Amino acid sequence: MLVTILTIFADLCNFCLPNSLAEVILKKLAVNDPLPPSKGRVVIMPVAHGTTIDNRPTAGLKTVVKETYFLATIHYQGKATLIYNAYSQSPDPSIERRFKEDHLGGIYGGLAESSIDEVVNADEIFSKEGLPDVFIWQTDQAHSIRAKIILQAFYPDTTVCVRSVLVRDTIDPKSAMGTYHNIWRILILQIAPTPLFWWWSRKGKKYLATKAGFHQPAAK
């Protein structure tokens, strides 16, 4: 019910307010950390952005993969390890998996419905291969605050970094993530749960992992 109310409110904002206002707010709120130096093992994880309801890569997926490719090949000169997931509520999640595999390579973590799912998948890989010295999560402006909260809770002794692409480059009216249909939905539905995640993170990694079912609404 709350998600429905927030979605209706966001759509009203999208109708009545300029997108430029949302962009200003997002710029103020977003986390976009400086890139850590290449010391030790560096892992980069592009956020799962899913596919569209007609089975093509979303604008968000293409934008995040493009930026991840730049980080991995140019900044870290091919020395970083890539871990990626696929959004489980896409009509065909294998499209996202193949897209990332073809453009980035790396290790497939698995299906993910939520941000916590993505980190839990990465954590399973780390349990076998050891923790990285640097963990970079490539995401977007609106998701970046929650991403930083989750990484700090899971990896307090690892250098964690959150990088953000512009939200305006992730909007896709046909995205399987209903949140990403317009900029005001992205702003409101991504930012609204942040205090909850902050509170859960105070209780530690194990408790936060139990909240993996808390996810963005899928498109209907």
Predicted confidence pLDDT, tens digits, the chain (220 residues): 888 899 999 999 999 999 999 999 999 999 999 999 988 999 999 999 999 999 999 999 999 999 999 999 999 999 999 999 999 999 999 999 999 999 999 999 999 999 999 999 999 999 999 999 999 999 999 999 999 999 999 999 999 999 999 999 999 999 999 999 999 999 999 999 999 999 999 999 999 999 887 776 655 4
Q: What domains sit in the chain, N to C, each tagged with a CATH number?
A: 32-166+175-209 (3.40.50.620)
In angstroms, how far is the first alpha carbon of the chain from the final one? 15
Which among 148, 160, 157 is positioned nearest to 190, based on CA atoms? 148
> Which pLDDT does position 207 carry in this prediction?
95
**Parallel/antiparallel/unpaired status of strands 81-87 and 159-165:** unpaired
Q: What are phi and psi of 67, to 5 degrees?
A: -70, -40
> Which pLDDT does position 212 carry in this prediction?
85
Which among 117, 119, 162 is positioned nearest to 139, based on CA atoms? 162
